[in-house]
Chains A and B, each alone.
Chain A
Amino acid sequence: MRAKWVLCFLLLLECFAAFAQRNCQETLQLSRSNFDKGHLYSIPSILKPCIDKGFTKQEKIQAYWLLTQVYLLVDDPISAEDSYLKLLNLDPEYKVDEVNDPVELVYLSRNFKTTPVFSWHMAKVGVNIGNFTVINAQSMDGSNQSKGDYKSKLGFQIGTGLEIHLNDKISGIMDVSFMQRSFDYNRVMFGKDVLFKKERNSFFVVDLGGKYKFNKKKIAPFVLAGFSMNMLLGSNYEFNYTNSQGSEGAFESSGPSESNSNQRTSFNYGAYLGGGAQMRLKYSFVSFEIKYFKGFNSNVDRSVQYPFENGYHSDKNFLYAHVDDDYIANSFLFNISWIKPLYKPRKINKLTTKNIFNRIFKKNK
């Protein structure tokens, strides 16, 4: 019984809403009609009830567009700016039609900017593939005639970030991400034996850099560059040694996956350079970028290149005849990110990044 009453109430509400909607559509048409007839002063009061409650978002935008023109014509620039600002708040990507819109509106629009101060890179995912620079090739094969071969496997990264827009084209970026990198290493030993190592590293990565966008069109290409630091979260390796020439014939042995985090440097740093394009999807962007990270430091902790574990010197070295090269890990990274601009429509020169920071610091003081 009670449910029936609730249902009736909801239906009534729906009816009222539909009525109000239909009523506000008529209000908007009436306002336009008044505008066309030159009855300007009545328009704000006609629109106000529906702006407060009744207009859809699109109708509100049209209402503020109308009000902005009304206030410009009645020589009330403050109200005009206020209406236009409200319009921009509703549609930060709103662009006046410079050909068909009244020239006053066009000029007024030039006093405002909607460029976001910050953009949040809400989800940034991608894949990476390593590229290794060997500084000093190390080997336990005293022949010194062969070098190890690094073969990178596809890794991935996932993260988020913040973009600070310094102007329409230049912005600073700080990204944080979790990155996993995998690679294989193999080396011919004693002429015919094959040492094979599989390694996987995980990092927490912080990128600090800049981005330059070439235009503000729907698809905007950009270049980016910056510095990158990463902290090792974990590293594992496993070995396989194929002895093809032992006195007992061919023999293959494999080791379990074990941590070698202590043999890798905890912090690595380098620089990156890349480019891409971002495509606007209403009030968000999808960004595609490819960048190359060039490491600056060796990833191998030289103090434990021959590890000392459980009272033994170099247990792993002896078991698999392996010692790490001094190497730098570089990477090609491909990322797709969803960028959510945090719009702040504002009058030009009134609200700048500098002002925002000033305000923040003033508040902190």
Chain B
Amino acid sequence: MIKNLSFLLVLVILLFSCDDSMNLKRQDGSHFIKYYGSEGDQKGCDLVIVDDAVYMVGTNSTNNPDSLKNLYVVKTDLNGNTIWKHSYGTEFPDEGRAIDADSNGNIYIAGNTTTGVGLQVITVVKLASSGAVLAQATIQELESDGIKRSIESVNDISLNPDGELLVAGYSNTAHPTYGGLGVNKFYFPRLTADLQESPIVFEKIFGYSGGAEGTDSRIESAFSSGPGEYLFIGSTSADFNGDNLGKFNLLKFSINLSNSVGTPAYSRQSEDHFGSDFSINGDWITALGYSNINDQNELFISSFPSSLTGADLQVFSLNTGLNIRSASIHQFNDAFIITGTKVNGEDTDIYMASINGFGNINWSKTFGGGQNDVPGKAIAFNDKLYMVGTVSLDKQEKMCLIKTNSKGELN
């Protein structure tokens, strides 16, 4: 009797130990790598998470020679399952660069639109969570004779608490103080929530007085640090010290964007320095950038008080020993999640690391498959890390979303 019962017990245990979807839950909830796209190439560069949905922006280009590149947006759930994917833009080639969302769940995307040879404007589109277009605007500068001759470019967008959309980029339009046509200047156009031009009188172009020669300023990232205050990170090659080296800047403006309080443009002798992104943690700002010497890139961070006044510039090299260009920085718990493009000869890979405020690396991970894989922005949500990027897959590019645990692990 006992033997029979034992046998029966073993049978029951074995049968109930069968793997099925009940005991083997899908792992998408904790981690995944997913590609998005269809025919042609699709790139990803920025993402935002709103109402448990991930919105990614990038560029879509089909194989049809008659069709143009467009802004490309993919909405997924938190498990990376596509909810919808659409292309937006103009009748000209568009290239997606940035995305943000307001508290109502509306999505704002921005990209560059090439309207002719040497001519570029910024296209901004406001979307409902369904993907429907709510508004669209073109941002451009005209010369004094009313003719368009310049390039305007967007690198990032940010919504302030009042719902105002701040665009960060550069323009090479002519400016009486900061240089003529063809010299890049910092460019900060502002729009209302309906993508109308801001009624506030402000100066949207900034540069270095008298530094027209050699000045090549580009704003990489924008952030509204509070009512009436805006922060930007950028790079310039303004000739301050008799060099033409790249220097990174962290700039703070009042609401009219007229009075700047900025860090000195920073560089070390014989090294180019470029700013990429920054993150605000209370009273401190941590900026990410990379230096370049002899084609070798090295990541660095710099921390400043948010007032930027009396800031004692401190730069911490990350000493990765790798050739990496910076991409994004995002505060996560007591550390920062950074992404960068790791260069391996002809190929590039996606680099993600956790660092402290002194540039010490807690952990680092590399993602890639031997071709050109490039990261976009990474953000933390519900203790998981989400990173958008572009991967090369047999002579085609696809937007990718990588979700990892808090240590960048795919398990």
Whether B35 and A321, one on each chain, are in contact in the complex, defined by CB atoms closer than 8 angstroms, is yes
Is residue B19 within 8 Å, beta carbon to beta carbon, of the partner chain?
yes
Instruction: Please list 13 pairs of residues, one from A and one from B, whose beta carbons are closer than 8 Å in the complex, sorted by A's number.
Output: A135-B24, A136-B25, A138-B26, A142-B35, A142-B81, A144-B82, A192-B39, A246-B63, A296-B14, A303-B411, A312-B367, A313-B367, A313-B408
- Binary interface encoding of chain A residues 308-336 relative to chain B, with 1 for a CB under 8 A from any of its CBs, else 0: 10011111111111010010100000000
Contact of A245 among B63, B373, B411 (CB under 8 A): B63
Q: A298-B24, A312-B366 are in contact. Are A243 and B410 (CB under 8 A)?
A: no
Whether A245 and B82, one on each chain, are in contact in the complex, defined by CB atoms closer than 8 angstroms, is no
Report chain A residues within 8 Å CB of B396: 243, 245-248, 251
Report chain A residues within 8 Å CB of B82: 142-144
Q: Which of B124-132, B146-154, B387-395 contacts A (4 or more CB under 8 A)?
A: B387-395
Q: From DSSP, what is the main secondary structure of chain B's interface residues? A: loop
In this complex, the member of A139, A246, A249, A298 whose beta carbon has the largest number of chain B beta carbons within 10 angstroms is A246
Q: How many A-B residue pairs have CB under 8 A?
A: 142
CB distance from B274 to the nearest CB of A (A): 26
Report chain A residues within 8 Å CB of B80: 142
- Closest B residue by C-beta to A253: B394
Report chain B residues within 8 Å CB of A304: 411
Please list the 10 inter-chain residue pairs (A to B) with the smallest Cβ-Cβ separation, ordered nearest first.
Answer: A318-B369, A246-B396, A306-B410, A319-B369, A142-B34, A243-B394, A142-B36, A245-B39, A246-B395, A296-B18
Whether B40 and A245, one on each chain, are in contact in the complex, defined by CB atoms closer than 8 angstroms, is yes
Q: From DSSP, what is the main secondary structure of chain A's interface residues? A: mixed
Q: A142-B82, A245-B39, A297-B19 are in contact. Are A317 and B14 (CB under 8 A)?
A: no
Is residue B247 within 8 Å, beta carbon to beta carbon, of the partner chain?
no
Is residue B21 within 8 Å, beta carbon to beta carbon, of the partner chain?
yes
A131 CA / B246 CA spacing, docked (Å):
61
Is residue A150 within 8 Å, beta carbon to beta carbon, of the partner chain?
no
Contact of A241 among B349, B393, B397 (CB under 8 A): B393
CB distance from B313 to the nearest CB of A (A): 33
- Closest A residue by C-beta to B61: A247
Whether A314 and B398, one on each chain, are in contact in the complex, defined by CB atoms closer than 8 angstroms, is no
Report chain B residues within 8 Å CB of A49: none
Whether B41 and A247, one on each chain, are in contact in the complex, defined by CB atoms closer than 8 angstroms, is yes
Report chain B residues within 8 Å CB of A315: 368-370
Which B residues are closer than 8 A to A by beta carbons? Answer: 14-15, 17-21, 24-28, 31-41, 61, 63, 74, 76, 80-82, 349, 365-371, 373, 391, 393-398, 401, 408-411
Report chain B residues within 8 Å CB of A142: 34-36, 74, 76, 80-82, 401
- Closest A residue by C-beta to B391: A318
CB distance from A364 to the nearest CB of B (A): 22
In this complex, the member of B26, B370, B395, B401 whose beta carbon has the largest number of chain A beta carbons within 10 angstroms is B395
CB distance from A259 to the nearest CB of B (A): 18
A139 CA / B18 CA spacing, docked (Å):
23
CB distance from A78 to the nearest CB of B (A): 38
- Other A-B pairs, 9, CB within 8 Å; known A243-B394, A312-B368, A315-B370: A141-B35, A243-B396, A246-B41, A247-B40, A247-B41, A253-B394, A269-B14, A306-B411, A323-B32
Report chain B residues within 8 Å CB of A212: none
Q: A227-B14, A247-B61, A271-B14 are in contact. Are A326 and B35 (CB under 8 A)?
A: no
Whether A191 and B39, one on each chain, are in contact in the complex, defined by CB atoms closer than 8 angstroms, is yes
Is residue A190 within 8 Å, beta carbon to beta carbon, of the partner chain?
yes
Whether B33 and A314, one on each chain, are in contact in the complex, defined by CB atoms closer than 8 angstroms, is yes
A191 CA / B370 CA spacing, docked (Å):
24
Whether A313 and B365, one on each chain, are in contact in the complex, defined by CB atoms closer than 8 angstroms, is yes
A303 CA / B366 CA spacing, docked (Å):
18
Whether A311 and B411, one on each chain, are in contact in the complex, defined by CB atoms closer than 8 angstroms, is no
- Closest A residue by C-beta to B366: A312
Report chain A residues within 8 Å CB of B394: 241, 243, 246, 251-253
Report chain A residues within 8 Å CB of B24: 135-136, 298, 302, 326
Report chain A residues within 8 Å CB of B32: 140, 306, 323
